């Protein structure tokens, strides 16, 4: 067992009556969907799951892809892979991109007022097509031979991950747009 693993946490426990929003990450939503009991043990009692194996190669590929796409983002041009696969998009140049990528201290965030949940998720990248539509990207590395697909039952987590990020980004952008409009209205008066 890792010396960094502390199975019993005392901070960020779910307290329904708290005035402060409870932080729920994309992976915690997935934990709830896969095992509600495991989520309860983690969120309410502070008993976390043992960490998985570190995917060093996957992390390296992720970091390198982000750096490479950032070069194309700065030039506002499509990456050659996008062209090869017929994607009419470019990496999005946005002032919050570094924040959106940082799942631990930033990420895309939204407070769901009805539940008092502070929902967070860190994306690998966001691309934009000529119509202004955002494309959420999550880099995955695999040693699988043959065609890669998302059809295996165990890959449902990848699909949920993308759906969560799409929903979260939509909520954050709508909220920002509404706040901006309200601010403009207030400055007119």
What percent of the chain has pLDDT above 70?
88
Distance CA 24, CA 43 (A): 9
**By the 8 A CB rule, do 105 and 128 touch?**
no
Q: What is the pLDDT of residue 117?
A: 94
- Which residue from 169, 171, 165 is spatially nearest to 29, judged by alpha carbons? 165
For the segment 97-138, what is each residue's pLDDT rounded down to a tens digit?
999 999 888 899 999 999 999 999 999 999 999 998 899 999
CA distance 51 to 33: 18
Q: In which band, very low, low, confident or very high, does the pLDDT at 177 lie, cut at 50, 70 and 90?
A: low
Residue 53 is predicted with a pLDDT of 78
pLDDT at 173 (0 to 100): 80
């Amino acid at each position: 067992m890792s010396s960094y693993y502390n199975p019993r946490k005392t901070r960020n426990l779910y307290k329904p009556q708290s005035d402060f929003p409870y932080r729920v990450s994309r992976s915690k939503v997935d934990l709830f969907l896969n095992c509600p009991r495991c989520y309860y043990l983690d969120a309410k009692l502070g008993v976390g799951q043992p960490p998985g194996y570190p995917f060093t190669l996957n992390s390296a590929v992720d970091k390198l892809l982000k750096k490479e796409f950032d070069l194309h983002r700065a030039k506002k041009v499509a990456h050659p892979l996008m062209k090869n696969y017929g994607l009419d998009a470019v990496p999005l140049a946005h002032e919050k991109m570094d924040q959106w990528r940082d799942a631990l201290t930033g990420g895309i965030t939204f407070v769901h007022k009805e539940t008092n949940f502070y929902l967070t998720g860190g994306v690998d990248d966001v691309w934009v097509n000529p119509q202004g539509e955002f494309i959420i990207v999550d880099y995955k590395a695999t040693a699988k031979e043959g065609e890669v697909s998302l059809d295996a039952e165990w890959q449902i987590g990848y699909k949920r991950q993308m759906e969560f990020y799409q929903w979260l980004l939509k909520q954050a952008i709508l909220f920002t747009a509404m706040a901006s409009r309200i601010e403009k209205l207030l400055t007119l008066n």
